[in-house]
Every structure is written in C-alpha cells, then in structure tokens.
Structure 1
Amino acid sequence: MDPLPASLAQAETPAAVIDLDRMQHNISRMQQRMDALGVAFRPHAKTSKCIPVVQAQIAAGARGITVSTLKEAEHFFAAGIADILYAVGMVPGKLAQALALRRQGCDLKILCDSVASAEAIVACGAAHGEAFEVWIEIDSDGHRSGIRADEPALLQVARVLHEGGARLGGVMTHAGSSYDLDTPAALAAMAEQERAACVLAAQRLRAAGLPCPVVSVGSTPTALSASQLDGVTEVRAGVYVFFDLVMRNIGVCREQDIALSVLTTVIGHQPEKGWAIVDAGWMAMSRDRGTQKQKQDFGYGQVCDAAGQVLEGYTLVGANQEHGILARSGEPDRDIAARFPLGTVLRILPNHACATGAQFPAYRACRADGTTERWERVHGW
C-alpha cells in the first residue's frame, strides 16, 4: 500500500483532503471548454465554500461567482470578489441582507421566479432608493424552481421588475435533472434543452421590449456535454472543481479526477463479517447516498489507499455517526484485519463533494510534493 504523504501523517482523522493537482486539472479542463464555446464562466462556489479554491477558479479565467447563501456572498465579497450571483429565489426577509451587501459595493445579483417575489424586491428598492439587479429563473427541465420559458408569467414578472425600478439583468436556468442521466447522447440532449429554454426566454423578453443582457445556464454535466451554446452569455457549474462518485457514474469524470477525499483511520475489525471499522461515519461522509439510484452504488464512498489510489471492490458499505463500515463487494474479505491493520490510514472518495465538504470546517490542501495547507470553509446562511 502506498505511503501517506508526510504532511498528512500527523493529521487528525477524519479530515477532508483536496488533491491540488487534480483540482487544478479540473479547473483548467472546464475553463478551456468554456473558452472554446465562447462563453463566460461563473463557477458555483457552493461546492468548496473556500476562498483559495475560488481564487484558483478566477485565476484560470472565471468571471464572477455564483453562491447559494448570502453568508457566502458576504464571505467572498470580503475577500475582494464583487461580481456575485445569489442563485436562490429571493424572499422578503433576506432583502435587508442583500441591500447591505450592495450598499457596501458588492455587485450582487438576486433571483426571482414569481410576481410576489418581484413585488417584494421593487418595494424594498423603492423604500431604500436601491435598484436591485434581478435575474429571472427559468425552469428548463421541471427539476425544481423557475418559470417555463413559454409561460405568460415570464413577462408578468419581468414587467413588475422593469417598471418598478429594478434592473432586469437577464435570465438563468439550472438543468438539475442532468444528474439522472448517464450517456453522452442523453447529456448532450439535456444540455441543448437547457440552452434552448433559456434562450427562448431571453428572446421573449427582448421581443416584448424588455432588457435581457445575460443568458446564464449550467450544471456540471451539461457544461461538459454541450456541443454549442448559441445565444448563451455565461455558464455556471460547481461540483466539477472536485468531482465525486455521482459525477463519475454520470460519465463526466473518472475516479482519478476526484479531487476531494476523506482521510480516515481503521479503528477496529469484525473479521467474521469481513468488515474493517473506520472513524469516518456519516458525520464525515454525509448521509448523501447519491449513487444508490445509479448503475453502480458506492455505498458511502469508494475506498482508496493513503496516497489516493482506488482499492477496487472496497467501499464504505455502512455508516453510523462516527463509524464507517468498510467491506469488499461480493465474497467477504476474511483477511481484512491483516489487509487493513489497526491504525491504517485510508482515503474515501465521496458520493457528493458538496455534501461531504460541508461536514468539515476546513480542508487539508495537499500538493504533489506532499506539503499541505489548511484552507478554511464558510458555514451558515
């Protein structure tokens, strides 16, 4: 079994580890693809919630970022990143927080998908002399939120915003149902469906005499599967920076591209069951079982050696709060105690990088030479 990098030898486990070479390769791959397609790229920071990761994405060519909480927006703005899309539907109770960010100089864009939300935004803006920049969320696949591109409500919402003094910044969509696909043809078709819906919404707004400068689409699977993005101005994607086992099963990355892993230690055995017990339970890995409904189920994660090389057939088959159960698929490994002696350090690749990262206050960012740094994450809302 390959040795543990020296700088991780003293790390307490469980710990979230970023392989920086893999991460940088993932960043470069996505940015080069967006450059080739002729669109701006606005990465979603909700995956890493980490300033050095986002700074690497911007250094590679990203223009602005996407966030999932206003606390993320505050965190990244304090680090000097001003062009921020808050990609969750706005509610009245959060407008004061958004207003404060804009008053501090943050170029914050907010999201809307209903007349009620639009009315609350323009009322707040009028009361405080603020012209919020608002994008309208488009439902391109029935996955979650948004207005369908052909609905009358699209123009109704746009007029409330435009006539009420808000700045109508554009339209955006997220084809989250791409996560349910696993063939290149299906992914390419979903990417085109996502593009076409958002472009249609923009065309309808412009035909009605309403502004729509931005047409924003994206998910990691569709971003890596689109053949052309005519009419789109920018793409958003998040999990690509680390990738995970769900993305591996979808077919947009390989196991050796997954840049996030959880460092764990073997703390016991049940040899008659073929189990090794590790100190990474669901509190470390998260409860996300995203691969369970896919063609290959990795349990709570794929087991790797200390250097991050996949140990074929070994997964975390079960998890309690602080205990993970490591076992071999098929015939139980009766020699598991000898194979993974007490104190053995391993790494586990996660099902969902966003969910696993969220279990930790910081990452161990590991370079090729084995040196590491502690990179803090932001938590909360």
Structure 2
Amino acid sequence: MTSIQEIDTPAALIDVPRMQRNIERMQERMNTLSVRFRPHVKTAKCLPVAGAQREAGAEGITVSTLKEAEQFFEAGFSDILYAVGIVPSKLSQVLALRKRGCDLKIIVDNVETAREIGRFGKAHEDVFDVWIEIDTDGHRSGIKPEEEALLEIARVLQEAGMRMGGIMTHAGSSYDYNTPEALKAIAEQERAGAVRAAERLREAGLPCPVVSVGSTPTALSAEQLDGVTEVRAGVYVLFDLVMRNVGVCTEDDIALSVLTTVIGHQQEKGWAIVDAGWMAMSRDRGTQKQPHDFGFGQVCTEDGTLLEGYILSSANQEHGVLSHVGETDKNILERFPIGTRLRILPNHACATGAQHPEYQAILPDGTVQTWPRFYGW
C-alpha cells in the first residue's frame, strides 16, 4: 500500500512520527530520572511498536495477558512481567513459558495464592520469579505498604524456595487528576508507598531487588524517583483524549486515529453519518466524566487537522454520528459531503486498538505499512 487514500474504512491508523516522538520523550525522561524503563505493551500489542520502544532504550516489557507473553517471547522478547495477579490455574502456562527460556515474572497480592505458587513450583522443580503487588492509591488491587500480609507473603514465597523478585505498583487513580500539582503529588505518593514497602521487606531480612512503579501520568509527572528501580507505562506510546484531558499530552501528540468515511446525513439534526461506530472506536467513554467530553472521539480531516467542535457524538455498532458540540450545523451536508474521509481521535487508545486486527502505519514519507496486532488471553 502506498498512501492513506488506498486504505479502506474504517481502519486504525498509527502516525509513526508522532509515535516515535512519544517514545523518545518518555525514554529521555526515564534516562534523566536514572531509572530502567519497562513499557507496557498492552496498548498497541504490536511488534513494530514494541521494537521501536526497545530500540529507544527500553529494557524488558510488561504484558496484561499470558497470550501476549507467549507472542512477544516468540518474537524475541524474553524479560517479561505479567502484571495481572496470577491465579493457580494459570501456573502451568507460566511454567511452560519459563521452561522454554522466557524470563517471566508473575505478581501476587495474597497469602493463599503465594502458597499455591510455592506448592506448584516445588512440585515441578521450578523457581518462580514473583513480585508482590502494592496498593498505593486504593485504585484497584494490591496490598497496602504497611500491611502485615506484605511480610507474610514474602516469607511464604521464600520458605517455598521461590524468588522474591521485588514489588510493583500502579497509580491508576492518576487518570482522575488534571493539574500538574495533583499529578506530581500522586506520583510522589506512588513512589513513596512503593519504596516504603521495599524498606519493610529489607528491614525484615527479606529480598526486594526491584521496586517498580508506573502509569503514564505519574511517569511524566514525577519530580524524582529515589528508591525506584524501574518504571512502567503504556498508553504514552499512542496517547488518547483521556490523556489529553489529564494534561500529559495535546491532540498533536495522539498517534492513533480511526479513518472513516461519511456515508449519509440527517441534515435537520446537523448530523453526518460515518462508517465508524463503536465496533471501530470501542464503547469507551472515558472522557465523559472529565471536564471536556469528546463523545466517542474528536473529528479531524483526513490529513489529521483538528476540526474544533466536531465530535463523534454517538455510535451504534457500525454507524457513527458526527455533529457539532452545542449547536446544530445546518450546513453539515455541504461541509461533509458523502465520501468525505476523516480521522477520529479515540478516548482510550488501548480500547480502540483492541477493535482492530491490524494498524495502518503512516510513515514519515506518507507511505503506509500494515502492522498486525496481537489478540487473546
């Protein structure tokens, strides 16, 4: 394929110069903060994207499914953190990957599962590399830095002969803030909580070589990362409208969009109908609770120029409704004739990417490459 004009719609586009700029920005920041960077590849789930991150200086990857771990390992990535709490039924998958040479780390946040990991590891004569998940903001899973269970989990693993690889945390609540001061504060809260958990382990004579933190907002907002050994972040590579509202990027940094075509109108309502519904954009309405609601996405011209005020205001399975915020555009038919091709910036890059089997990567010279995307669990 030689140009964007040859791409059928709807299609997921990656603006490669923007993506590369995002990668370099994050890696330079991590280098300045003197920490190792382990990107979360769940956003794009795409080898060329992960390869660009590695070439920029990333070390290891983070995955959200064991299927991702398998596919990236087969493609030459071996240092992998599976950053979702393990359950005993998946330990056989972990073991199979480790037996093939994958340096796969798993996480746990409760004593019961820690005991099961120990039993399974001993039974199969393998030493699992286990990290304890720490909750530093009440956002999701993990244990609090001061909980007694932290030491109990580490002792259970050590007594069973497993490797206590370290601790990890994710300040997902950072998505709820939108000022530099608030983002700096949550980044420091994340850092301090993780470091405190590591200190407690070491004071008890228990190993904690890795202190891993990260989210895109905190990675881009932390003023210092003393005591942290590595950072993880994912959505920064493509960015999206939620991150724009959080304040860590602008629309000009968003590297993912959905190419769509105008297929009809409801002129009296000021609507243009496009062939990108929620099957192309996802149902994610992450900007709905933020100060600036973009509906199902921000509308741009085919070349990526922002069309201020025009959003994908609603979506059915294969139909999207394009309209102007706050007023009815009586000239919608003339402004967007049938056949007009547009780009829609997504609310959530991870969710929109997941709707597509491949990306059309727009290279710096305007030519197009097809980049496959991974699926499955």
Question: What TM-score bracket applies, with the shorter chain setting the length?
Answer: over 0.9
Deviations 1:191-234 (A, max 9, x none): 00000000000000000000000000000000000000000000
Q: How far apart, in 1, do the equivalents of 2:300 and 2:250 lie?
A: 14
- Distance between the aligned counterparts of 1:6 and 1:304, measured in 2? 21
> What does residue 105 of structure 2 align with?
109
CA contact (8 A) 2:2 2:368 kept: no
1:255-274 Cα deviation digits (max 9, x unpaired)? 00000000000000000000
Matched residue, 1:68: 64
Pairwise mapping of residues 231-310 of structure 1 onto structure 2 (< 5 A)?
231-310=227-306
* Deviation by residue 1:271-307 (Cα, 9 ceiling, x = unmatched): 0000000000000000000000000000000000001
CA–CA distance in structure 1, aligned partners of residues 326 and 282 of structure 2: 25
1:165-184 aligned at under 5 Å gives the runs: 165-184=161-180
Q: Report the counterpart of residue 36 of structure 1 in structure 2.
A: 32
Q: In structure 1, what is the Cα distance between the partners aligned to 2:215 and 2:279?
A: 27
SS of aligned partner of 2:3: helix
Shift of 1:52: 0.5
CA shift digits 1:314-371 (9 cap, x unpaired): 0000000000000011221111111111011000000000000000000001012110
The equivalent residue for 2:89 is: 93
1:7 shift after superposition: 1.1
Indicate yes or no: 2:188 matched with 1:192: yes
Amino acid at match of 1:261: S
AA paired with 1:318? S
- Where does structure 1 lack aligned partners over 5 or more consecutive residues? none
| Residue 311 in structure 1 maps to residue 321 in structure 2 | no
- Which residue number corresponds to residue 374 of structure 2? 378
Give the whole-Å Cα distance in 1 for the aligned partners of 2:90 and 2:11. Answer: 33
Count of residues in correspondence between the two structures = 377
Identical residues among aligned pairs (%): 70
Name 2:145's counterpart in structure 1.
Answer: 149
Q: Distance in 2 between the 1:368 and 1:135 partners?
A: 40
The amino acid of 2:362's aligned partner reads C
Q: After the TM superposition, which parts of structure 1 deviate over 2 Å for at least 4 consecutive aligned residues?
A: none
* Cα pair 2:297 2:347 within 8 Å, conserved: yes
Equivalent residues in 2 for 1:38-57 (5 A)? Answer: 38-57=34-53
The answer to whether structure 1 residue 363 and structure 2 residue 344 are counterparts is no
**Cα displacement (A) at 1:6:** 6.0
In the alignment, which residue of structure 2 is the partner of 1:125? 121
Q: Distance in 1 between matches of 2:262 and 2:157?
A: 57
In 2: Cα distance, 1:309 partner to 1:140 partner: 39
After superposition, the C-alpha distances for 1:152-186 in whole angstroms (9 at most, x for unaligned) are 00000010011111100000000000000000000
329-338 or 257-266: which moved more? Answer: 329-338
Specify the SS of the correspondent of 1:25.
helix
Q: Aligned letter for 1:147?
A: I
> Partners of 1:38 and 1:26 in 2: how far apart?
18
CA distance in 1, matches of 2:61, 2:199: 25
Deviations 1:57-78 (A, max 9, x none): 0000000000000000000000
Q: Structure 2 counterpart of 1:128, which letter?
A: H
TM-score, structure 2 as length reference: 0.99
C-alpha RMSD of the superposition:
0.8
Q: Which residue does the alignment assign to 1:139?
A: 135
Corresponding residue for 1:81? 77
Unaligned runs of 5+ in 2: none
Which deviations, in whole Å up to 9, do the C-alpha atoms of 1:14-42 show, x marking residues without a partner?
10000000000000000000000000000
Alignment partner of 1:217 is 2:213: yes
Q: What amino acid is aligned across from residue 358 of structure 1 in structure 2?
A: A
Which of residues 338, 345, 352 is equivalent to 2:341?
345
The answer on 1:13 being equivalent to 2:4 is no
Amino acid at match of 2:370: R
Q: Secondary structure at the match of 1:9?
A: helix
